[in-house]
Structure formats: structure tokens, C-alpha cells
């Protein structure tokens, strides 16, 4: 009795094991198929990206050609009348004096005391990290113009 039961159980176990193996192989196949489809999708995406890049390149080439044409035209058209623009810019700066208060920047910088609190912050005007509390204000001597 006991041995028969044991044999039955072994058969059941064997059947279950085979089923499991079958399921596993099916799962593997599915995974492989999925991998194949994702690879295909990736290829399609890459192809689309390549197309986009090619189109972008073509557009850039076209605009470059247009730019070259326009600059050539510009150079050709203006070669005869070139000396004229200089006269307009030279009239004013002779009377200008650079503001000594702001050194011609039009603003002065100051610092609010933070007593060591706060982190250094990037200042666009100074082009570097400045201590917390650093600020700029319009120059009161030249009214922010940088010259008198």
C-alpha cells in the first residue's frame, strides 16, 4: 500500500515537474519573442531617429546655403557703399566719460551681512560664485548708464 501510494505520488510529482518544464520553456520562448519585438521596435525607433537627423541635416544644409547666398549677396551689394556706417557711431563717445563710481558697469555691488549663513550663489553679472547676500544696485552717480 505504502509503496503504491509512493509510486503514485512520484508519478504525480513527475507529471507536475514536466508541466513545469513545459511552462518554463514556453515562458522562455515568450521572453525571446518579446526581446525580438522590442529589438525590432528599437530598430524602428533608431531608423526614425536617423530619418529625423537626416531631415534636420538637410534643413541645416538648406539654411546654410541660403545663408551663404544671402551673405554673398550682402557682400556684393554693400561692397560699393561700405564706408558709410562708420560716421554715425563716432559722433557720441568723444563726450562720454566712464563713470568712476561703477567703472562703466552702470551698477555697484554690495553685500547684505548674513553672518556666515547661506551658500554662495552664482552671480550672472560677476560671472562667478559670490557670497550669500551679494547684490547689485543701479549706480546712483551715473544713473545706471556707466558714463557721464
* Residue numbers at the binding site for Zn ion (CB under 5 A): 99, 101-102, 109, 123, 125-126, 139, 141-142
- For Zn ion, give the closer residue by CB, 57 or 141: 141
- For Zn ion, give the closer residue by CB, 36 or 126: 126
Taking the complex as a whole, how short is the minimal distance between the CB of residue 123 and Zn ion, in angstroms?
3
Taking the complex as a whole, how short is the minimal distance between the CB of residue 120 and Zn ion, in angstroms?
11
Taking the complex as a whole, how short is the minimal distance between the CB of residue 130 and Zn ion, in angstroms?
5
Give the CA radius of gyration of the chain. Answer: 39
Distance CA 64, CA 72 (A): 12
CB 123 within 8 A of CB 129: yes
- For Zn ion, give the closer residue by CB, 80 or 137: 137
CB 142 within 8 A of CB 101: yes
- For Zn ion, give the closer residue by CB, 33 or 111: 111
- How many residues are recorded in the chain? 148
Q: Which residues contact 63 (CB under 8 A, 6 or more apart)?
A: none
Question: What is the 8-class DSSP label of residue 131?
Answer: -
Taking the complex as a whole, how short is the minimal distance between the CB of residue 101 and Zn ion, in angstroms?
4
Amino acid at each position: 500500500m505504502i509503496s503504491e501510494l509512493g509510486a503514485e505520488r512520484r508519478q504525480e510529482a513527475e507529471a507536475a515537474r514536466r508541466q513545469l518544464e513545459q511552462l518554463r520553456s514556453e515562458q522562455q520562448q515568450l521572453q525571446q519573442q518579446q526581446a525580438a519585438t522590442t529589438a525590432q521596435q528599437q530598430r524602428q525607433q533608431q531608423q526614425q531617429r536617423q530619418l529625423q537627423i537626416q531631415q534636420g541635416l538637410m534643413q541645416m544644409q538648406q539654411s546654410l546655403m541660403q545663408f551663404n547666398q544671402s551673405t554673398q549677396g550682402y557682400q556684393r551689394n554693400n561692397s560699393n557703399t561700405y564706408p558709410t556706417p562708420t560716421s554715425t557711431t563716432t559722433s557720441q563717445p568723444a563726450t562720454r566719460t566712464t563713470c568712476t563710481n561703477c567703472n562703466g558697469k552702470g551698477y555697484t555691488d554690495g553685500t547684505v551681512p548674513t553672518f556666515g549663513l547661506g551658500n554662495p550663489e552664482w552671480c550672472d553679472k560677476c560671472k562667478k560664485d559670490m557670497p550669500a547676500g551679494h547684490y547689485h544696485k543701479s549706480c546712483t552717480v551715473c544713473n545706471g548708464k556707466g558714463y557721464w
